Amino acid sequence: MDYLEVIVLVVSFVALLAIGVPIAYSIGLSTVITMLVSIMPMPAFTTISQRMATGLDSFALLAIPFFILAGQLMNSGGIAHRLIEFAKVLVGPIPGGLAFVNIVANMLFGAISGSAAASASAIGGFMHSRMVKEGYDASYAAAVNITSSTTGLIIPPSNVLIVYALAAGGVGVSIGALFLAGYLPGILLGLGLMAVTGTIAVRRKYPTAEPVPFRTAVVKLLDAFPSLLLLFIVIGGIVVGIFTATEASAVAVLYTFILSVFIYKEVKFKDLRGIFLSTINTTAIVMLLIATSIGMSWVMSYENIPQTVSDTLMSFGESKVTVLLIINAILLFVGIFMDMTPAVLIFTPIFLPVVMTLGLDPVHFGIMMVMNLSIGLCTPPVGSILFIGCSVGKIGIEKVIKPLIPMYIAMIAVLLIVTYVPWISMWLPRVFGF
C-alpha cells in the first residue's frame, strides 16, 4: 500500500466535506483525485466511470426505488395515522404513554416503509404536537421520535440491508436472511428506548392515557390491519420462496397503491405525480451515493487498504471481543460524519474479511453494522434523521442534544448486546433455513 494515495484520499474527502460539498460529490471527487495521483489521468477517468456504471448494474438494486415508492405512498396514504391509533391501544395506558406510542408507531411504520426518514417525518408530524399539548417537553418529544425512527432501518424490509448485501459481494449474503435477522435486534432496540422513556416518564410524572374500550380497540385494529398485513405479504413471500426481495418490493408498491388509493382513499390520482417525482429525486440521490461509493471502494481495494486494515486489527490478537469493540468504535465515529449508504459500501469490504476470520456470520455482521451506523443518523453534524426530527418538531438542534444522550446510551448498549450475542440476529434465519 502506498500511503501517499491513502493520505490524498482521506484529506481530499475531509476537505471537500468541510467546505460544504455534498457527500456524494465529495466521495466521487476524492476518488478521482486519488486515482490521478496513483495512475495515468485518462485511465483514471475511464476506470471510475466504468466502476460507477457497472456497480449499479445489479438486479437487487431495483428493490430500492420500489421500496422508496412504497414508502412515499404510505407517507401520503393515511397509514401513519392508523398505526399511531393502533399503537395507542397497545401502549397508551402505560406511564408516559405517548412516548411509547411514538416508539411503537415508528417501529411499525419504519418496518412497513423501510425508511427512517419517512418514519421520522410521518410519525413525528402526527405525534410531536400531541405530545407537547399533553405536557411533554418539546425537546424530549423530538428526541424520542428521532431515535425510534431508526428502528425501521433494522426491522425489514430495509433498503440499507439491500445495500449491505450488494457490498458483501462474493460472500453471497442472502437478502431474505438479512431481513429475518433484523427482527429481534430491531425489537430489542425499541424495547431499549422504551426502558429509557419509561424511566423518564415516571420521574417527570408524564400523563397516562385512559385504557381504550375493547370495542374501540377492535375497530382500531381492524382499521390498521390492512397496513400491518403488508409485513406478512412481503417477508412471508420471501421466506416461503414465492418471490425474491426485488419482486417483493414491486408487490409492496402494488399493495400500498391499492391500499392508499382505493381502500383508505387518502391518495388521489392527481397526487401521484408529486409522489412519483419525490420518489425519482430520492432514488437519484441514493443511486448517486451508491455509484460514487462503489468507485471509492474499488480505489481502496486497488490500494490494498482492506488487507492492511485487516492485518492491523488482527495484530491486536485473535480476541473477538477486542476486535469487534474496535470495529464498533470506528463505525460509530464514521457514522458521525458520513451518511449510512456510502459508509456501508465503503467499510463493508474493509471489515467483513476481518470478522469472517474471527468466525462471525456475515448476516450477523450486517445487522451489527447497520445498527451501529443508524446511531450516526441521530448525531450532528451530518445526522439526517436529527435534522428531519428537529424540523418536524420546529426545535433547534442544540436543544435536543441533552435529551438524546440517555437514548444514545440505550442504543449503544443494545448494539453491544447484539454484537456479542449472535443468537439474537441468527435465530430466525436459522429457523427458516437460511
- Alpha-carbon distance 130 to 359, whole Å? 48
Closest CA to 89 of 101, 107, 103, 102: 101
Q: Give the pLDDT of residue 92.
A: 67
Q: Give the pLDDT of residue 370.
A: 93
The answer to whether the beta carbons of residues 25 and 16 sit under 8 Å apart is yes
pLDDT tens digit sequence for 55-66: 777 777 888 888
Domain ranges for the chain: 1-55, 60-290+304-431
pLDDT tens digit sequence for 79-111: 777 877 788 777 767 777 788 888 888 888 777
- Alpha-carbon distance 214 to 159, whole Å? 37
Tell me how crowded residue 250 is: count the other CB atoms within 10 A of its CB.
17
The answer to whether the beta carbons of residues 10 and 23 sit under 8 Å apart is no
Q: Calculate mean pLDDT across residues 128-147.
A: 86
Closest CA to 379 of 417, 419, 337, 415: 337
- Alpha-carbon distance 166 to 161, whole Å? 9
Task: pLDDT band for 188, please (50, 70, 90 cuts).
Answer: very high
- Alpha-carbon distance 178 to 153, whole Å? 11
The answer to whether the beta carbons of residues 110 and 379 sit under 8 Å apart is no
pLDDT at 318 over 80: no
In percent, the amount of the chain with pLDDT more than 90 equals: 16
Task: pLDDT band for 365, please (50, 70, 90 cuts).
Answer: very high
**150 Ramachandran zone, left/alpha/beta (phi>0; psi -120 to 50):** alpha
pLDDT at 378 over 90: no
Average pLDDT, the chain: 83
pLDDT at 76 over 80: no
- Alpha-carbon distance 280 to 64, whole Å? 11
Angle in degrees, CA 272, 274, 277, rounded to 5: 105
pLDDT tens digit sequence for 354-363: 888 888 999 9
The answer to whether the beta carbons of residues 223 and 168 sit under 8 Å apart is no
pLDDT at 328 over 90: yes
The one-character DSSP state at 271 is G
Q: Give the pLDDT of residue 338.
A: 80
pLDDT tens digit sequence for 381-412: 777 788 888 888 888 888 888 889 999 999 99
The answer to whether the beta carbons of residues 111 and 222 sit under 8 Å apart is no
